[in-house]
Amino acid sequence: MGHFLALWLLVNFAGRLPLALLDTIAAACGDLAWWGSRRVRAVTRDHMRHVRGPTAPPREVDRLARACARTAARGYAEFAHLPHLSPDRVRARIVAIDGIEALTTALAEGRGVIAVSAHLGAPEVISHAAPTFVDSFAGVAEPLRPQRVHDFVHRVRAVRGVQYFPATLGGLREARAHLAAGGVLGLLVDRDVLGTGHPCAFFGERARMPVGAVELARRSGAPVVAVSALREPGAGRYRLVFRPVLLPPATGDREADLDAGMRAVIAALEEMIRSAPGQWFPLVPVWSGLAVDGTPARRGYNERDDGTRNDARPGTHGS
């Protein structure tokens, strides 16, 4: 009840404040969370060490880690504020668009488009701005608990007519049908939310990563485009960035094709995140003990520690 009430008040009262004021409050809350939570400091520092590399000065790591916490708090502000804006006012906040031809070229193939993104910048802006660029946009969403919170969050996010399919077998069937009808399907692919991911090399060390986007692309033939909504200086100013993700041609070896596809998707993720590291805001660990003897492991999800192929199927392969 408490979580639902907090979100309801956030959207229906705080969300009506001017975004400049709301953004200032959110940034202050992010700073408080970073200084007040040892866990938040540890997680964000670890993420920034991976992104910036082992030689990054501690002061730079801390600066970027605090920025990550502020970005996470600003995400709540955008979740609350954007539904109160008209489509034209949302569009006016997008001050730059980079690489839109990647999306239009992919749409022209007529097989739907898989839009992969990360917990980076302002993902809420993508779903609010999507109707400006495409006729049919949908996302796959993690289940939230309790159900009342789940229903409220996705009712708010669906204000522009955007659909959200649950990350269940039934929801994935609907997602495949959406692609088959030529729609755009959005997926956040930088964190193993459901706990079903496979170890993949990510910023030089294995992390469990979701492979659903690549599996859908291989089965449907839909092209993949990386999308991010990055914050520009000043409250409520955003830059949309689109980049094609070219999966290597299929070979008929399911595991090898999935592995090659994941390398292409992860390379696109790393490029997006490196462009704005302080805007990457997962507040739970992405890497959790998959390195061997403390040494970062650079390998695909289906390789053993010695680099040879593992014959286990993706669904049963362990770390």
Judge whether residue 2 has pLDDT over 90.
Answer: no
Distance of CA 151 to the CA centre of its chain: 20
pLDDT 10s digits, 67-118: 999 999 999 999 999 999 998 999 999 999 999 999 999 999 999 999 999 9
pLDDT attached to residue 290: 63
Q: What is the pLDDT of residues 170-198, one digit of tens each?
A: 888 899 999 999 999 999 999 998 788 88
Distance CA 184, CA 112 (A): 6
Q: Tell me the whole-structure pTM to 2 decimals.
A: 0.87
C-alpha 71 chain-centroid distance: 13
Residues 229, 132 contacting (CB under 8 angstroms)? no
